[in-house]
Amino acid sequence: MALAHAREDQIYRIDHFFGKEAVQSMMAIRFANTLFEPLWRQEYIDHVQITAAETIGVEKRGKFYEGTGALRDMVPNHLFVLLSITGMAPPSSLAAEVVRSEKTRLLDAIRPIKVKDFVVAQYRAGKIGGEKRLAYRSEPNVDPKSDVETYAALKLHIDNWRWAGVPFYLRTGKRLAARKTEVAVVFQKDTVPAFQTGFCGFNAQCHPVPA
């Protein structure tokens, strides 16, 4: 729609997740590091988990959240920023249009999501840090019968040679136990028996995936 009113070089796209120091460092960690880049593919990686968890609720944004929900608020912008940088192929240069093209190729390769690979939920009343917290439906400007999700999790498959068979798990939610933004790249299980017990390393056991 934007291209109907302006040229591509006249459009400036930004997401505040790009401002996070760790996010800005991810391209250097991947593409300027001969230790990681050769391993950044389906032969070695079991799965990838991308999490944006918050302990706060919707606060005073109930009216906004009623029309948005966790999925539209976080996934297609913030989490896809992390997804695209984590999964994109090496760009031929750091020019904006080149990097954007590689991110677009990755996003275009995402397989349509099936219902069984998508979960939503809504927080109820409880305690965090010993303090009582309201249920979402009791928050200001929220419909008492609202079915808007405050938690969303999905499993993605990317149909290209680099990520064939490697699931990406994206999750985000409010009123969770801890506040963190994390990309966990989980390598395949060790095949050497001596390292299969008593040593965590990058095994999936460190970052269990919900069924």
Distance CA 90, CA 26 (A): 12
Give the Cα separation of 33 and 38 in Å (integer). 9
Catalytic residue among 5, 16, 47, 78: 78
Amino acid sitting at position 71: L
Any idea what the Cα angle at residue 183 is, between residues 112 and 65, rounded to 5°?
65
How far apart, in whole angstroms, are the C-alpha atoms of residue 37 and residue 89? Answer: 10
pTM of the predicted structure, to 2 decimals: 0.83
Pseudo-torsion of CA 41, 74, 26, 11, nearest 10°?
A: 110
1 vs 194: CA distance, rounded Å: 57
pLDDT in tens, 69-99: 999 999 998 899 999 999 999 999 988 889 8
CATH of 20-206, one of 3.40.50.300, 2.60.120.580, 3.40.50.800, 3.30.360.10: 3.30.360.10
Q: Write phi, then psi, for 11 (nearest 5 degrees).
A: -100, 130
Task: Let me know if 78 is a catalytic residue.
Answer: yes
Token look-up 């190729």 returns 105
Alpha carbon of residue 45 to chain centroid:
17
pLDDT, tens digit (0-9, with 9 covering 90-100), for 122-160: 999 998 878 899 999 999 999 999 999 999 999 999 999
Domain regions of the chain by residue span:
20-206
Extract the tokens encoding 61.
């944004």
| Average pLDDT value over all residues in the chain | 87
